[in-house]
Amino acid sequence: MPDTPGGKKLKIHAQFTWSQSGQAIRISNQFVTDGKARPYLDGLYAWDPQQRAIVFWYVGAEGGLTRGKVKVEDGKLVHEFDQIAPDGKSVSYVAKVTPQGEQAWQNEIFEQHGTDLKPLVNVRYEIADK
């Protein structure tokens, strides 16, 4: 991630684990600023048999809710989702996640306005040693 406006190093630690049933994937993310972690979001990915799609929900540390679904398009996992703030206002986004070998992936996030996509951030995730 880019440094903060104050010049501090910013990272995201993302942890993905299978649910005990093996039917869902849990996600827990933290922001890490100059080595200090703070909660970011927790969520779940699962197959929705009614929609015939992978769906997901994230609950943010500030109380917002993100919900959407995932499809495969041109070798990318395309996440189409709405982010709902604690006050009920929502914004639509698209994230294009591109695998880069076995150990990394690129995540391009866009704000969606109708069919127009405004680029917001481009983040590279790498699998870290434990």
CA distance 77 to 108: 11
Average of per-residue pLDDT across 43-67:
96
Q: Per residue, what are the HEC states of 21-65?
A: CCCEEEEEEEEEECCEEEEEEEEEEEEECCCCEEEEEEEECCCCE
Name the CATH code of domain 10-126 (choices 1.10.10, 2.40.128, 2.60.40, 1.10.287): 2.40.128
> Using one digit for the tens of pLDDT, what is the confidence trace for 68-95?
999 999 999 999 999 999 999 999 999 9
> Using one digit for the tens of pLDDT, what is the confidence trace for 2-14?
677 888 887 888 8
